[in-house]
Structure 1
Amino acid sequence: MAAALPEEGALPGYSVISTPETKTGGEKSDHSVRPAACQLLEDARSGVFADSVASAWVNISAPGFAPSTERLTFTSYRSRGAGAYLASLDTALDACPSLSLLDRDGDRVNAGVERVKDQVSVGDASVSFRMHWALNIGGFKSETYSLVTTVRSGEATITVVTDSSFGSQLSDAKKRAFLPKLDQQLLKRQADALGEAQHS
């Protein structure tokens, strides 16, 4: 899977800003999310795929003012595992309009969760959602939005996580401009690459 990830210059509209990293076997959740039924959503955002066989990821960035950071992850599963994972994400989204999680200082912060209704037209199935929370660090108030999109292709998934942070003093119109959005072309290119990797 790592070989199927894009290299610098091979992903139109993006810079590849790290070398691919890999791991085998699933990681354990830290179980800090409340309600516990929502843990899977934070795991998807943070790159924890508990029941996976292996995963590989790379960091990318689109050019422009204050570019957001994105992580692209390919994850493989045992037979029917990818479908079961996507169904679990879908169930968690139905149950979790909000959740709380621990920040870097160990303080609990509340995050809103919103299903993204835009249709992803690639792969076998997909789930996409946005998380939003506010922080106050030394008197500076900021907001963070994360867009998490997972597309199933056979017995593997592509997960694209886009994080965007900005000061809370911005107008609502400017905040909307910073909201991470689905990139259908990126998803299509990577779904094709992952499909080829599974059949090579």
Structure 2
Amino acid sequence: MAAALPEQGALPGYSVNSAPETKAGGGTSDPSVRPKACQPLEDARSGVFADSVASAWVHISASEFAPPEETLTFTSYRFGAAGAHLASLNAALDACPSLSLRSRYGDRVSMDVERVKDEVSVGHDSVSFRMHWTLDIDGFKSETYSLITTVRSGEATVTGVSESSVGSQLSDAKKRAFLPKLDQKLLKRQADALGAAQHS
């Protein structure tokens, strides 16, 4: 999978900012997530993929104005588990208009969750959602907007995570300019690469 990830110069409109990194297994979930039914959503945002065999990822950034950095992750599963992963995300989205977790500072942060209505027309099936939360650090409030999209291709998935943080003092119009947006061409290119890697 790592070999199928994009290299610098191979992704039109984007810079590839790191060499591929890999890990075996699904990783460790944040135990502070509440309600527990929402765990798959935070796992997808943070790069934890339950029941996976292995993952590989790179960091990218758009060449034009965009959130500063995104992560593309390819994840492989045993037979049937990739579809089950998408089903768990859909079930969590139906159950969770919001969730909360402990921040690195020890306080509990509430995150709004919203399914993205724009259809992702690539891969065998997909799910996309946004998360939004506010942090108050010594009186300075910042808001973070995260877009998480997972596309299944056979027994593997590609997950794109894009986050943007802005000061709460900005107007709503200016905040909207920083909202991460779906890139259908990027998702199709990566889903095709993931599909080809499974048959090579």
Q: Output the TM-score relative to the length of structure 2.
A: 0.97
Shift of 1:32: 1.1
SS in 1 for 2:188: helix
Q: Which amino acid aligns with 1:10?
A: A
Alignment correspondent of 1:76 = 76
Structure 2: how far apart are the matches of 1:61 and 1:15?
A: 5
> Cα deviation per residue 1:80-130 (whole Å; 9 max; x = unaligned)?
110000001000000000000111212111000000010101000000000
Shift of 1:65: 4.5
SS in 1 for 2:89: helix
Alignment correspondent of 2:131 = 131
Structure 2: how far apart are the matches of 1:68 and 1:32?
A: 27
Give the gaps of 5 or more residues in structure 2: none
Structure 1: how far apart are the matches of 2:113 and 2:178?
A: 17
Alignment of 1:101-120 (within 5 A): 101-120=101-120
Structure 1: how far apart are the matches of 2:68 and 2:96?
A: 25
Segment of structure 1 superposing worse, 179-188 or 18-27: 18-27
Structure 1 segments of 4+ aligned residues over 3 angstroms from their partners: 64-67
Is the CA contact (8 Å cut-off) linking 2:99 and 2:110 kept in structure 1?
A: yes
Count of aligned residue pairs for this structure pair: 200
Structure 1: how far apart are the matches of 2:63 and 2:106?
A: 33
Q: Does 1:57 align with 2:57?
A: yes
Alignment correspondent of 1:157 = 157
Is the CA contact (8 Å cut-off) linking 2:75 and 2:157 kept in structure 1?
A: yes
Structure 1: how far apart are the matches of 2:184 and 2:86?
A: 19
**Identity, % of aligned pairs?**
80
Q: Which amino acid aligns with 2:40?
A: L
Shift of 1:67: 3.7
Is the CA contact (8 Å cut-off) linking 2:38 and 2:92 kept in structure 1?
A: yes
Shift of 1:189: 0.4
Structure 2: how far apart are the matches of 1:30 and 1:177?
A: 30
- Cα 1:123/1:31, change in 2 over 3 Å: same
CA RMSD of aligned residues (A): 1.0
Structure 2: how far apart are the matches of 1:184 and 1:197?
A: 20
Alignment correspondent of 2:181 = 181
> Cα deviation per residue 1:141-191 (whole Å; 9 max; x = unaligned)?
110010000000000000000001001111111111111000000001001
Segment of structure 1 superposing worse, 123-132 or 64-73: 64-73
Q: Does 1:24 align with 2:24?
A: yes
SS in 1 for 2:52: coil
Give the gaps of 5 or more residues in structure 1: none
Q: Which amino acid aligns with 2:199?
A: H
Alignment correspondent of 2:145 = 145
Structure 2: how far apart are the matches of 1:65 and 1:181?
A: 12
Structure 1: how far apart are the matches of 2:165 and 2:93?
A: 22
SS in 2 for 1:120: coil
Q: Which amino acid aligns with 1:72?
A: L
